């Protein structure tokens, strides 16, 4: 503990420079504040943010010394466009009554679907036709540079990520993460922030960070919205959702409820060649599986303003899922190069399970003065539980269709319980009139209990097989402290920080009778710098160090069988991977950015297949596969060929070098791979609000360890139109039209020769409808801006 305190004192004394905040007020000609005026902040012709004034008051955050344009508009008043530079204490805007036709003076604001900022790319889901009407998982797959896998894996800019929900990490991975996000309607999502190099305020876990931000109503009175959608792929999917907010005086109450009923069909083909000096066997498996899920997702919270500068809040979220799955797998076995199968293995599977996740949050925030100081305290408890029962019936047939041996039946019940406690304190203050700093501490405790039992059921009574059963216990405790800095010195813009994390993990496997304990202290720096050479030319530099701790499922050694000869298993002895990211960029006219990127990954944990050519068994496990070095370039651009047409393009190309000396997985590879993406947004008719959208991307084949991941590509289109006096919106979209998004792997290394091809249910058609209802009430009192952000929990 003494070591942690010393590190904290070191970080708190770290010299900082930070960006500034600016408050303002909008009045009419008589000096009365104007509520709900639209405040739009732009820089170099690019819209940065937009908000509604609260009883005339607004706050602009994270400003530097570059010139800004501020547009203020309100129906019935003449719009105002004002330029300003920092530092500045406050802004006062006066709007005059508009006696002329409103269309004679107008400032048009349209938030782009994709925004590129100094340290992140913002995907405005609410503006995207393709991302609407589905789930948060669907929207995530549409975000720029994000790739989602059939196993629940998520990557951004070819790096594994940690997913956050409203600034809080979602401590799930794989299928659990996918199932959780599939229970959240995308119409609940305001935007998705993709951060390839996140600041030190975020936990160091993950090569990148994705923050999913939900919608919040920002006006007084009662506001609500309802939405629903139908998606057709191989099977049907339904989603419905409601969001409400009531804000009056000191109290703000908000909540949401979403329900989805999904059915997904997958077609898996797996071949394995078992070859020894004296034998040859070709196993060809085809499996059709269906997973049906019914998921309820809900949120309820309240904020109460204790004083004008203090706010306390409570937030409760829940996610309940019921899953049913079934499948049929046929394995044709060809021995000694025979053209006809010598035997056929028929495996029938069915599973049934439940998953429940909850989160309880208490928050307190105080802004004691107008000098930018603030103290924020969060306490969180997040329990998670999952139970599942999988049953397999295996029948081996000879060429004459007789049974080779008695049917082999198994049952595998499993449970998982995770309890997560965390608390953090963040403190921000200013130094003089310009500089501010932010520091914080956090402690997280994670306890995971996993039970996996394997039963042979030849008769009525199941028989426990202790050699294939396991109980795995895992604990992880992390103490962290950080300091962030940012600021402007002439043409230089700085943003950086330092984070220290001390982690202790303990894993105990009952079947292996082994305890694995790790203790380590890591320092994670982040640096961002930009140099504005001219009004239209800017250079940038970014560096970050991150850590990739193994997921719980990667550590769990329990064997999950899909047939008597095929299973999956984790590895409790995995080490965390260390990732270093370096990026140098050049931006022209705010529309073209060219970057050179260098990334190193040491001890990356990845899937590794192992096949035994003598016993004809095949399993998938986890291993630290060695080191990976990527050097490449990225070009992103924004175009407006016409006033109603916006294009966002991204092109990435990398040269990869990777090596490993692990027994059974030794390699030394070099490869070039690339990623291309283009997004188009069209306004077909301004009067009717008819809009269209098209997105296309291509991901080339890439080697990851011993796995060769085949190319994938996607083409999606959509159209939307407001109805019912613009209170409602109807959307139509089609995803993965060319069906180019399967999961394909080829492995040919050191006695292994196998391949996987899985077609996922990604070619879909969606129709959705959303409707806003409610009314705005005049506020009973004038609120100061000191606590506005907390009261609204604004995005």
Range with the poorest average pLDDT among 297-301, 364-368, 776-780:
776-780
Of these ranges, 139-153, 332-346, 421-435, the one predicted with the greatest mean pLDDT is 332-346
The confidence score (pLDDT) of residue 217 equals 57
What values do phi and psi take at 15, rounded to 5?
A: -65, 135
Q: What's the mean pLDDT in 314-333?
A: 93
- Please choose, from the candidates 96, 83, 23, 21, the residue with its C-alpha nearest in 3D space to the C-alpha of residue 57: 23
| Across 183-189, average pLDDT | 78
Which pLDDT score is estimated for 29? 73
Residue 203, pLDDT above cutoff 50: yes
* Nearest CA-CA partner of 571 in 618, 509, 627, 524: 509
The pLDDT assigned to 771 comes to: 87
Q: Residue 630: which pLDDT band, with cuts at 50, 70 and 90?
A: very high
The pLDDT assigned to 219 comes to: 57
Q: Which residues of 33-63 are buried (b: 16+ CB within 10 A; e: fewer)?
A: bbbbbbbbbbebeebbeebebbbbbbbbeeb
- Predicted local distance difference test score (pLDDT) of residue 562: 79
pLDDT, mean over the chain = 83
Six token digits for residue 664? 């059974």
> In this structure, are residues 742 and 757 in contact, taking their beta carbons and an 8 Å threshold?
yes
User: Which of 176-185, 351-360, 455-464 is modeled with the greatest confidence?
Assistant: 351-360
> Is the pLDDT confidence value at 209 over 70?
yes
3-state secondary structure 394-462: EEEECCCCCECCCCEEEEEEEEEEEEEEEEEEEEEEEECCCEEEEEEEEEEEEEEEEEECCEECCCCCC
Pair 181, 137: CB distance under 8 Å: yes
- Catalogue all structural domains in the chain, each as residue range(s) with its CATH number: 2-101 (2.60.40.10), 115-306+317-792 (2.40.170.20)
Q: What is the structure's pLDDT at 774?
A: 59
- In this predicted model, which residue has the larger pLDDT, 13 or 73? 73
Q: pLDDT at residue 360 above 90?
A: yes
74, two tokens: 């309100």
Is residue 694 pLDDT above 70, yes or no?
yes
Tell me what pLDDT residue 5 has.
Answer: 42
Residue 11 pLDDT greater than 60, yes or no: no
Query: 435: how many CB neighbours lie within 10 A of its CB?
Result: 19
- Mean pLDDT throughout 761-773? 87
From residue 531, give the alpha-carbon distance in Å to each of 420, 525, 536, 539, 649.
Answer: 42, 20, 11, 5, 24
In angstroms, the CA 333 to CA 565 distance is 12
Long-range contacts of 673-677 (CB under 8 A, 24+ apart): 673/700, 673/701, 673/702, 674/700, 675/145, 675/158, 675/650, 675/651, 675/699, 675/700, 676/650, 676/651, 676/652, 677/144, 677/145, 677/649, 677/650, 677/651
Which of 724, 692, 733 lies closest to 230 in space, CA to CA? 733
pLDDT value of position 143:
84
pLDDT tens digits along 557-609: 888 887 888 888 888 888 899 999 999 999 888 788 999 999 999 988 888 88
Kindly state the average pLDDT of the residues 546-562.
Answer: 85
Q: How many CA atoms lie within 13 A of 563 on its CB side?
A: 24
Query: With left for phi above 0 and alpha for psi between -120 and 50, is residue 615 left, alpha or beta?
Result: alpha
Q: What percent of the chain has pLDDT over 90?
A: 32
Q: What is the pLDDT of residue 81?
A: 85
Range of 89-103, 256-270, 369-383, 663-677 with top mean pLDDT: 256-270
Do residues 274 and 611 lie in contact, with contact meaning Cβ atoms separated by under 8 Å?
A: yes
69 or 444: whose pLDDT is higher?
A: 444
Q: What is the 3-state secondary structure (H, E, C) of 478-539?
A: EEEEEEEEEEEECCEEEEEEEEEEEEEEEEEECCCCEEEEEEEEEEEEEEEEEEEEECCEEE
Lowest mean pLDDT among 88-102, 128-142, 202-216, 236-250: 88-102
Query: What does the pLDDT average to over 251-257?
Result: 89
- pLDDT, position 370: 61
User: Kindly report the CA angle at 595 between 593 and 599, in degrees rounded to 5?
Assistant: 150
- Phi and psi (nearest 5°) for 536? -115, 10
Read off the tokens for 97: 């009554």
DSSP string, 224-287: EEEEEEEEESSSEEEEEEEEEEEEETTEEEEEEEEEEEEEEEEEEEEEEEEEETTEEEEEEEEE
The Cα-based distances of 469 to 176, 237, 411, 418, 565 in angstroms read 21, 35, 11, 20, 16
Range in 156-170, 690-704, 707-721 the model is least confident about: 156-170
pLDDT at site 130 = 77
Q: What are phi and psi of 226, to 5 degrees?
A: -125, 145
Angstrom distance (rounded) from CA 670 to CA 668: 7
Q: Tell me the HSE value of 28 on the side-chain side, using a 13 A CA sphere.
A: 13
pLDDT of residue 415: 94
Exposed/middle/buried for residue 402 (C-beta within 10 Å: 0-12, 13-18, 19+): exposed
**What region does 249 belong to: left with phi over 0, alpha with psi -120 to 50, or beta?**
left
The yes-or-no verdict on residue 102 having pLDDT over 70 is no
pLDDT the model gives residue 627: 86
Higher model confidence: residue 262 or residue 119? 262
Low-confidence winner among 79-93, 369-383, 672-686, 723-737 (lowest mean pLDDT) = 79-93
pLDDT at 764 over 80: yes
Is pLDDT above 50 for 216?
A: yes
3-class DSSP string for 719-785? EEEEECCCCEEEEEEEECCCCCCCEEEEEEECCEEEEEEEECCCCEEEEEEEEEEEECCCCCCCCCH
Q: Give residue 110's pLDDT.
A: 55
Of residues 513 and 341, more confidently modeled: 341
Q: Residue 670: pLDDT above 80?
A: yes
Dihedral sign for Cα 696, 701, 704, 709, please.
Answer: positive
User: Can you tell me which residue has the tokens 């600034």?
Assistant: 167
- Per-residue pLDDT for 793 more than 70? no
Which one-letter DSSP state was computed for residue 371? S
Nearest in space to 227 (alpha carbons), one of 784, 771, 788, 787: 771
Instruction: Please list, in sequence order, all residues whose beta carbon lies within 8 angstroms of the beta carbon of residue 490, skipping any fewer than 6 positions away.
Output: none
pLDDT in tens, 384-405: 999 999 999 999 999 888 888 8
Q: Which helix (H) or strand (E) holds 702?
A: strand 702-704
208-214/221-232 β-pairing:
unpaired
Of the candidates 318, 295, 432, 310, the one whose C-alpha atom is nearest the C-alpha of residue 365 is 310
pLDDT value, residue 544: 92
- pLDDT band of 109, cuts 50, 70, 90: very low
pLDDT at 80 over 80: yes
Predicted local confidence at residue 236, as pLDDT? 92
pLDDT bucket at 44, cuts 50 / 70 / 90: low
What is the structure's pLDDT at 329? 92
Name the percent of the chain lying above pLDDT 70.
89
pTM: 0.77
Contact 84, 72 (CB under 8 A): no
Q: For residues 177 and 153, give the distance between their C-alpha atoms in angstroms, rounded to a whole number.
A: 8
CA distance 649 to 115: 12
């Amino acid at each position: 503990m003494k070591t942690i305190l010393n590190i904290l004192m070191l970080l708190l004394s770290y010299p900082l420079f930070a960006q500034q905040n600016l408050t303002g007020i909008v009045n009419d000609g008589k000096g009365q504040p104007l509520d709900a005026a639209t405040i739009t902040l732009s820089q170099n012709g690019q819209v940065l943010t937009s908000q509604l004034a609260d009883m005339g008051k607004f706050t602009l955050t994270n400003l530097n010394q570059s010139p800004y344009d501020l547009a203020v508009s309100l129906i019935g008043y003449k719009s105002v466009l004002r330029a300003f530079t920092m530092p500045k204490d406050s802004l006062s805007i006066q709007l005059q009554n508009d006696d002329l036709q409103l269309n004679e003076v107008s400032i048009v604001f349209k938030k782009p679907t994709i925004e590129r900022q100094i340290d992140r790319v913002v995907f405005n889901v609410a503006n995207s036709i393709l991302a609407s009407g589905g789930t948060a998982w669907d929207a995530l797959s549409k975000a720029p540079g994000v790739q989602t896998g059939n196993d629940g894996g998520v990557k951004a800019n070819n790096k594994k990520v940690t997913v956050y929900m409203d600034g809080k990490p979602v401590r799930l991975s794989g299928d659990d993460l996918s199932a959780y996000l599939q229970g959240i309607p995308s119409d609940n999502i305001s935007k998705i922030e993709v951060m390839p190099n996140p600041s030190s305020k975020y936990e160091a876990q993950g090569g990148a960070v994705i923050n999913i931000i939900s919608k919040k109503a920002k006006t007084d009175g009662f506001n609500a919205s309802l939405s629903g959608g139908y998606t057709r792929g191989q099977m049907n999917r339904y989603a419905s959702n409601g969001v409400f907010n009531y804000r009056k005086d000191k109290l703000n109450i908000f909540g949401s409820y979403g329900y989805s009923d999904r059915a997904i069909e997958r077609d898996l083909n797996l071949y394995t060649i078992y070859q020894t000096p004296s034998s040859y066997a070709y196993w060809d498996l085809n499996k059709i599986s269906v997973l049906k899920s019914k998921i309820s997702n809900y949120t309820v919270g309240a904020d109460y303003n204790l004083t004008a500068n203090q706010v306390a809040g409570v937030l409760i979220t829940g996610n309940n899922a019921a899953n049913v799955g079934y499948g049929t797998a046929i394995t044709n076995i060809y021995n000694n190069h025979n053209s006809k199968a010598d035997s056929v293995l028929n495996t029938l599977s069915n599973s049934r399970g439940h998953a429940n996740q909850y989160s309880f949050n208490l928050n307190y925030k105080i802004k004691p003065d107008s000098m930018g100081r603030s103290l924020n305290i969060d306490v969180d408890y997040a329990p998670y539980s999952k139970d599942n029962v999988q049953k397999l019936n295996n029948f081996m047939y000879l060429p004459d269709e007789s049974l080779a041996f008695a049917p082999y039946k198994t049952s595998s019940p499993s449970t998982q319980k995770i309890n997560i406690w965390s608390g953090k304190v963040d403190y921000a203050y200013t130094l003089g009139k310009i500089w501010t700093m932010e520091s914080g501490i956090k402690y997280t405790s994670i306890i995971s209990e996993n039970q996996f039992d394997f039963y042979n059921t030849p008769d009525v009574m199941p028989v426990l097989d202790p050699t294939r059963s396991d109980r795995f216990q895992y604990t992880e405790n992390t103490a962290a402290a950080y300091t962030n800095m940012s600021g402007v010195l002439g043409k230089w813009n700085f943003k950086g920080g330092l984070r220290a994390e001390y982690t202790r993990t303990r894993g105990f496997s009952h079947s292996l009778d082994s305890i694995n304990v790790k203790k380590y202290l890591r320092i994670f720096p982040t640096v961002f710098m930009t140099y504005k050479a001219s009004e239209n030319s800017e250079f940038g530099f970014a560096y970050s160090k991150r850590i990739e701790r193994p997921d719980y499922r990667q550590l769990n050694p329990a064997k999950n069988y899909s047939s008597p000869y095929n299973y999956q298993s984790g590895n409790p002895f995995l080490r965390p991977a260390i990732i270093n990211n370096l990026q140098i960029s050049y931006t022209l006219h705010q529309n073209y950015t060219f970057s050179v990127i260098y990334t190193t990954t040491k001890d990356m944990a990845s899937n590794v297949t192992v096949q035994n050519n003598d016993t004809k068994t095949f399993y998938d496990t986890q291993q630290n596969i060695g080191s990976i070095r990527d050097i490449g370039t990225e070009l992103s651009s924004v175009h407006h060929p016409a006033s109603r047409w916006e294009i966002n393009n991204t092109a990435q190309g990398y040269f990869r070098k990777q090596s490993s000396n692990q027994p059974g997985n030794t390699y030394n590879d070099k490869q070039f791979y690339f990623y291309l993406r283009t997004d188009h947004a069209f306004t077909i008719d301004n009067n009717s609000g008819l809009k269209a959208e098209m997105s296309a991307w291509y991901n080339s084949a890439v080697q990851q360890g011993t796995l060769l991941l085949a190319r994938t590509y996607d083409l999606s289109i959509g159209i939307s139109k407001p109805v019912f006096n613009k209170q409602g919106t109807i959307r139509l979209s089609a995803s993965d039209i060319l069906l180019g998004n399967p999961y394909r792997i080829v492995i040919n290394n050191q006695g292994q020769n196998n391949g996987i091809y899985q077609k996922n249910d990604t070619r879909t058609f969606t129709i959705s409808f959303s409707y806003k209802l409610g009314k705005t009430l005049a506020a009973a009192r004038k609120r100061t801006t000191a606590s506005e952000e907390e009261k609204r929990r604004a995005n």
